[in-house]
Structure 1
Amino acid sequence: MQRKYLAVAILCTGASVGHAQSTVTLYGVVDANLEFANHLGAVPVAANGFNPGPSNNVFRMDSGGVSGSRWGLRGSEGLGGGLKAVFVLESGFNLDTGTSQQSGRLFGRQAFVGLQSDYGQLSLGRQYTSMFEALANFAPAAYATQYEPVVVMAGANFREDNTIKYTGSFGPITALGHFSFGTGLALPPTVGAPFILGGNGEVPGQFRRDTAYGAALVYATGPLGVVVGYDQFNPTIAPTAQPTNAGTGTFKKASVGASYAIGPAKIMAGYRWGQNKNQQGAEFLRDDFYWIGGTYQITTAIGLTLEYNYDNVKNQFGDAHLANPWQISAISNYAFSKRTDVYVTAAYTKNAGLAMESAAIFYANSLSLGNSYALANGQSSMFGIAVGLRHKF
C-alpha cells in the first residue's frame, strides 16, 4: 500500500514539474478608429465591370489604424537540454464588425509549431516571410495597418501558408530563411491586371505552383541597424480570356535598409527592387521602391512618426510612362498607459490610392481590409485621416 501511494506521489510530482516547464499566454490588440477619406471609388473587379466609378468622400469606422486587431495564444514547453517546443496561434479580426480577416481564416495572421534551441528556431505552419519580418524594424510606421504601403514594400504574399521557416540569432546578427509549399494567396483580376493571381498550391505534379522562398539578414548593434533581404513568389497565373492557359509566374523582390537611433529619435530608410514576370516569362512589373522617415518620442507618453514612400515604376503591364506614385504619412499617439493609447494617423497619396493602392498590387490592401482605397475615375490623389483608440492585452 505504501508503495502504491509512493508511485502516485512520484507521478503527481512529475506532472507538476512538466506543467511548470510549460507556458501558454493569451495576448491581443483591439484597435478602432473613425476615418475620413476623399476621392474614393470601388475596387475595379468583374462584379462592377472593372469600373471604379465616380469620386466620393467617406466617413466610416475602421478596425486597425496603427495595429491590426487580433487575439492569439503563444506557448512553449521545455524539453530538456536547452530544447523547447513552441507554438503561436494568432487570429486577425475586424473590430468594427466582429468578422475574421485573412479570407476568413481562424488563425490567419500566424499559425505554427516549432522547436527552439541555442541554434535557432525551426517552425512549420502559416508564417510571415523572412523579408517582411526582417524589415519590420526598418519601416518608420512599423507596418501601421491603415496607410502603410506594406504590400508594395514586401508583396501581397507577406504571410504564407504551408511554410517551413528558420530563425537564428547569433550576437548582433539575426538570420532568417523560409520556404512555402503553397502560399494560399489568391487575388481576382482587376482593371489593368487581366488575370487570376495565385491559388492554393500543393498540386500533385506541379511542385512549383504557388511556392515561395526567401531569406534575410539583420545586423543590429548599439544605435545602428542594417538589413538585407530577398523574396520570391511563384504564383499561379491564369488569363481571364484563356483560363486553361495557366502557368506559374515569378515575382522577385530584394531589399536593403538601415536605421540609426539618436536619443529619443530614430531615422530609417530603405530600398526595394522588384520584378514580376508572367507564366511565359514576360516582365509585366518592374519598379524601385524607396522609403525614408523616423520616429521621435517627445515624452514617455507622446510619440511622433513621419514616413515618405516613393515608387519608381519602370513597367506596369506594358506601360513604361505611368506617373510614379508617392505618399507621405504621419502618426501621433498619446499613451495613457503601457497598454492603452489614442492616436491620429493621416496620409496623402499621389498617383495611387492610400497605402499606394493600385492595379500594380492587385488592390490587395482593399480586398484584404474590406475597405476600398481605390482611386475613383478621373482622380490622381487621395487624402485620409483617422482618430482612434488602441488597447493591448
Structure 2
Amino acid sequence: QSQGRLFGRQAYVGLDSRYGQFLFGRQYTSLFHIMANYSPTAYAVQYEPVVAFAGANLREDNTAKYIGTFGPVTAIAHWSFGTGVALPGTSQGAPSVGGNGEVPGQFRRDSAYGLGAEYAAGPFGVAVAYDQYNPSLSSAAGAFVGTGSFKKATIGASYTLGATAKIMGGYRWGQNKAQDGSTLILRDDFFWIGGNYQVTPALGLTLEYNYDNVKNLLGQTHLANPWQVSFIADYTLSKRTDLYLTTAFSKNAGLNFDTSAISFANGYFLASGQSTMLGVALGVRHKF
C-alpha cells in the first residue's frame, strides 16, 4: 500500500517484444525511469529529495509507456490520460495542485507526458529527459480555476572508474505556470553530484550532494536555496537482503527538501526559527 492505494507505487500490465516494451497502468514517469541510473543513491529509501527533482507526479495513473533498447541506446516515452495526483499547495498563496484522474470532456486536464533517451557504452553513460504535467489548479476554497503547465527537463551523466568507483551528476530545469499560461508559480534549477565506492564485495559507500536554485516562487526572487548532503553505507547479507546506515544534513529545508519552496512535506518539518536538519537511520532491507 502507498498513498491510500492498494497498489500505490506501480500497477500495470504490458507486452514485451524485440521492438520494445508496451506498458499500461500506474507507472513511473519517463524522466524518473531513465534518470534512475544517474542518482548516486539510486532513489534511496531515506533522505532523497526525489519529489523536488522529479515532481509529485513521479507516478501516474492511466499511463501508456514505451521502452525500447537498441544496442547502447534506450528510448522511453509515456502518456497519462489522467494522473490521479492530488496535493495541497506547496506554499502560502500557491494553488492546490492535481485531481483524481480523467475528467470527461476535458482531455488536457490532469494529463501528462514525457520522453527520454540514454546512451551507455563502456564506462560512460548519459541521459536526457523531458516531463510535462498539466494539473488541475484549485483555489483555497477548493474551486477549480484552470489547468496548469508544469515542465521539467534534465540531463545526467556518469563515469565508472575501474571496478570499484563511479561518479555521476546532473541538472534539472523546472518551470510551473498557472492556468493562464503566463503567471509563473515556480522557476528553479536543481543540481546533483555524487559517487559510489565499493570498499569490499559486500560493503558499498555512497555520497551525494543536492542543491536547488529557486529563482522565482510566486514572484519572490530572493529565497533561501535548499541544499542537502547524504551518506549511505550498505552491507550486503545476501542477493536480496542488506543492512544500511544512512545520514543526511539539510539546509534551508527539512530532509528530502520537505517544507522547502518546491517540495511537499512528508514528515520532516523544520521547527520555528530552524534552518537546518540532521537525520540518521539504520535498517534492514529485503528486496522481493
Q: TM-score range by the shorter chain?
A: over 0.9
Contact 1:187/1:362 (CA < 8 Å) preserved in 2? no
Q: Distance in 2 between matches of 1:362 and 1:221?
A: 34
| Structure 1 residue ranges without an equivalent (≥5) | 1-99, 367-371
How much does 1:298 deviate? Answer: 0.6
How much does 1:245 deviate? Answer: 4.8
The reply to whether residue 277 of structure 1 matches residue 177 of structure 2 is yes
How much does 1:201 deviate? Answer: 2.9
Contact 1:231/1:253 (CA < 8 Å) preserved in 2? yes
1:45-92 C-alpha deviation (Å, 9 max, x unpaired): xxxxxxxxxxxxxxxxxxxxxxxxxxxxxxxxxxxxxxxxxxxxxxxx
Q: Distance in 2 between matches of 1:227 and 1:150?
A: 17
Equivalent residue letter for 2:283: G
Partner of residue 285, structure 2 = 390
Q: Alignment partner of 2:35: what SS?
A: helix
Larger Rg: 1
What's the RMSD between the two structures over aligned residues? 1.3
Q: Give the TM-score taking structure 2 as reference length.
A: 0.96
Q: Distance in 2 between matches of 1:378 and 1:353?
A: 12
Q: How many residue pairs are counted as aligned between the two chains?
A: 286
Out of 262, 268, 271, the position equivalent to 2:168 is: 268
Q: Distance in 1 between matches of 2:253 and 2:177?
A: 22
The reply to whether residue 308 of structure 1 matches residue 214 of structure 2 is no
Partner of residue 176, structure 1 = 76
Q: Distance in 2 between matches of 1:202 and 1:256?
A: 30
How much does 1:280 deviate? Answer: 2.2
Partner of residue 343, structure 1 = 244
Q: Alignment partner of 1:269: what SS?
A: strand
Q: Distance in 2 between matches of 1:213 and 1:360?
A: 24
The reply to whether residue 106 of structure 1 matches residue 106 of structure 2 is no
The reply to whether residue 230 of structure 1 matches residue 160 of structure 2 is no
The share of aligned pairs that are identical, in percent, is 64
Out of 239, 254, 272, the position equivalent to 1:377 is: 272
Contact 2:136/2:144 (CA < 8 Å) preserved in 1? no
1:83-139 C-alpha deviation (Å, 9 max, x unpaired): xxxxxxxxxxxxxxxxx32x2211111111111111111111001100100000000
Q: Distance in 1 between matches of 2:166 and 2:211?
A: 20
Out of 122, 147, 170, the position equivalent to 1:248 is: 147
Partner of residue 357, structure 1 = 258
Q: Alignment partner of 1:375: what SS?
A: coil
Contact 2:257/2:263 (CA < 8 Å) preserved in 1? no
How much does 1:271 deviate? Answer: 0.2
Out of 42, 46, 49, the position equivalent to 1:146 is: 46
Contact 1:333/1:343 (CA < 8 Å) preserved in 2? yes
State how 1:1-393 maps to structure 2 within 5 Å. Answer: 100-101=1-2, 103-241=3-141, 243-263=142-162, 264-281=164-181, 282-364=183-265, 366=266, 372-393=267-288
Higher helix share: 1
Bigger RCO (CA 8 Å, 6+ sep): 1
1:224-283 C-alpha deviation (Å, 9 max, x unpaired): 100000000000001115x43521100000000100001210000100000001112211
Contact 1:323/1:351 (CA < 8 Å) preserved in 2? yes
- More deviation, 220-229/244-253: 244-253
Contact 1:193/1:362 (CA < 8 Å) preserved in 2? no
Q: Give the TM-score taking structure 1 as reference length.
A: 0.71
Q: Distance in 1 between matches of 2:205 and 2:75?
A: 30
1:317-345 C-alpha deviation (Å, 9 max, x unpaired): 22100011100000001122222221110
How much does 1:359 deviate? Answer: 4.8
Q: Distance in 1 between matches of 2:229 and 2:206?
A: 11
1:2-59 C-alpha deviation (Å, 9 max, x unpaired): xxxxxxxxxxxxxxxxxxxxxxxxxxxxxxxxxxxxxxxxxxxxxxxxxxxxxxxxxx
Contact 1:363/1:374 (CA < 8 Å) preserved in 2? no
Q: Distance in 1 between matches of 2:237 and 2:13?
A: 35
1:350-389 C-alpha deviation (Å, 9 max, x unpaired): 001101112534525x0xxxxx112121111111001111
Q: Distance in 1 between matches of 2:79 and 2:152?
A: 15
Equivalent residue letter for 2:70: F
Contact 2:29/2:58 (CA < 8 Å) preserved in 1? yes
Q: Alignment partner of 1:348: what SS?
A: strand
- More deviation, 226-235/180-189: 180-189
Contact 2:116/2:127 (CA < 8 Å) preserved in 1? yes
Classify 1:151/1:193 alpha carbon distance in 2 versus 1 (closer, same or farther; 3 Å).
Answer: farther
Q: Distance in 2 between matches of 1:344 and 1:250?
A: 39
